[in-house]
């Protein structure tokens, strides 16, 4: 965290950078959809998107559950 940066500012800075990174990598993955350059099956595509969907659900859950407090002694 930068010196006078609040938690909110840190979140905004990092979340923006990381989200843009994810979106860029998805765009790059999209290049593999060109059938003139690559050969793939429908099952290959399903596997890719199942993996992406699964990880997306995990991350969404982390955000939804992050505001709940835990018991601590």
pLDDT lower than 50: segments of the chain: none
The predicted structure's pLDDT at residue 68? 63
The predicted structure's pLDDT at residue 69? 67
User: Whole-number mean pLDDT of the chain?
Assistant: 92
Only one residue has tokens 């993996």, namely: 51
The predicted structure's pLDDT at residue 67? 65
CB 10 within 8 A of CB 1: yes
pTM of structure: 0.79
DSSP code per residue over 9-66: HHHHHHHHHHHHHHHHHHHHHHGGG-TTT----HHHHHHHHHHHHHHHHHHHHHHHHT
The predicted structure's pLDDT at residue 66? 75
| Residue 48 burial (CB count, 10 A) | 13
């Amino acid at each position: 965290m930068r010196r006078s940066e609040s938690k909110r500012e840190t979140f905004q800075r990092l979340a923006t950078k990381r989200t843009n990174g994810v979106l860029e990598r998805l765009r790059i993955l999209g290049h593999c959809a060109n059938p003139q350059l690559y050969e793939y099956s429908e099952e290959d595509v399903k596997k890719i998107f199942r993996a992406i969907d699964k990880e997306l659900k995990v991350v969404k859950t982390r955000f939804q559950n992050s505001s709940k407090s835990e018991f601590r002694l």
